[in-house]
Amino acid sequence: MADQSLRDTDDPAAEILATGGLITLLGTVVATVIAVVALGDGDSALAGILGAVALISFAASLVFFAADSNRSEGAPLPFPSWLRTESETAAEV
């Protein structure tokens, strides 16, 4: 059975940031695919608009993931102290 102290806690803010990042990244993929199809059909205006949407969506996903990373930077590591490097254990003392 897993030790409860080593288990990840359910932080709603972290879940929202991670899920938002994944959803915007999925939107990036969908917009890119549709833009390529539109470009193949000769509709360059629609392809350009969807390409811009894909770039904005990708940038938004990077913002979500960066915010999630900054939130979890100060969190304790989920693995035992004997697996940490010397610099990590020295910083805790």
What three-state secondary structure class fits 75? coil
Give the amino acid at 29: V
In a domain, 51, yes or no: yes
Report pLDDT digits (tens) over 39-75: 999 999 999 999 999 999 999 999 999 888 877 666 6
Which residue spans within the chain are E strands per DSSP? none
Report pLDDT digits (tens) over 1-43: 444 444 455 678 778 888 999 999 999 999 999 999 999 999 9
- Cα(64)–Cα(58) distance, rounded to whole angstroms? 10
User: Nearest 10 degrees: CA dihedral of 8, 69, 88, 79?
Assistant: 20
In a domain, 54, yes or no: yes
In a domain, 60, yes or no: yes
In a domain, 63, yes or no: yes
Domain with 62 in it: 17-71
The two three-digit tokens of residue 63, written as one number: 């913002």
In a domain, 31, yes or no: yes
In a domain, 46, yes or no: yes
In a domain, 11, yes or no: no
